[in-house]
Amino acid sequence: MSIRRLTPADAEAYRALMLEAYERHPDAFTSTVAERGTLPLSWWTERLDASTMARQIVLGAFAPQGLLAGAAGILFDSGERSRHKAKLFGMYVAPAARQGGFGRRLVLGLLAEAAAREGVKLVQLTVTEGNDAAQALYERCGFAAFGVEPFAVAQGGIFLSKVHMWRAVAALA
């Protein structure tokens, strides 16, 4: 298993993996297959900007066969008063690769990216309330809940709440 930063050359594999994520777990993501499936490949390529000061970084988890088996990203806030924060987004590990440590390695890799970025003090994320496995993973990586946003996402006439979590980057696990 290997973890590395995705580059524009990985855009097709990243797109396919994330569309699978939105399809398999629609309650876990704010984005939908309908929304993201129509975006051009260039949108996905731009998300994988390989520059050193890119606004976002996406890491990929690769199975021994070289297939992209998981991904997660971090978005660095650029606002004058909020550039000390980053947001973890789009965490997904394909079912066949779960329980192999990919998720933890992706999260810890993104925390290391945050710690390496000058001025970043904390990382935030949201997880759908009731997604106990994901929330437990984040807690094992040092995240703590600080609130619940009711009615955060509408899905097929049902409203889902999101648990907001945060973690300082100074004390990496």
Where residue 34 sits, what CATH number does that domain have? 3.40.630.30
Q: Which amino acid, residue 164?
A: H
Within 10 angstroms of residue 78's Cβ, the number of other Cβ atoms is 8
Find the range with the poorest average confidence among 78-82, 98-102, 125-129, 137-141: 98-102
Task: Please check whether residue 125 is in contact with residue 147, taking contact to mean a CB–CB distance below 8 angstroms.
Answer: no
Total domain count, the chain: 1
Close Cβ partners of 53 (under 8 Å, ≥ 6 residues apart): none
Give the whole-angstrom CA distance, residue 117 versus residue 132.
30
Q: What global pTM score does this model have?
A: 0.93
User: Which pLDDT tens digit goes with each residue over 90-105?
Assistant: 999 999 888 888 999 9
The domain in which residue 117 lies consists of 2-168
Residue 133 lies in a domain: yes
* Residue 17 belongs to a domain: yes
147 torsion bin: left (phi>0), alpha (psi -120 to 50), beta (else)? left
Are 162 and 128 in contact by the 8 Å Cβ rule? The answer is: yes
Structure confidence by residue, pLDDT tens digits, 25-72: 999 999 999 999 999 999 999 999 999 889 999 999 998 888 999 999
What confidence score (pLDDT) does residue 156 get? 86
Range among 7-11, 78-82, 99-103 rated most confident? 7-11
Q: Are the beta carbons of 36 and 22 closer than 8 angstroms?
A: yes
Look at residue 172 in the predicted model and tell me its pLDDT: 54
Q: Is residue 173 part of a domain?
A: no
pLDDT number for residue 171: 56
> How far is residue 129's CA from residue 110's CA, in Å, rounded to a whole number?
22
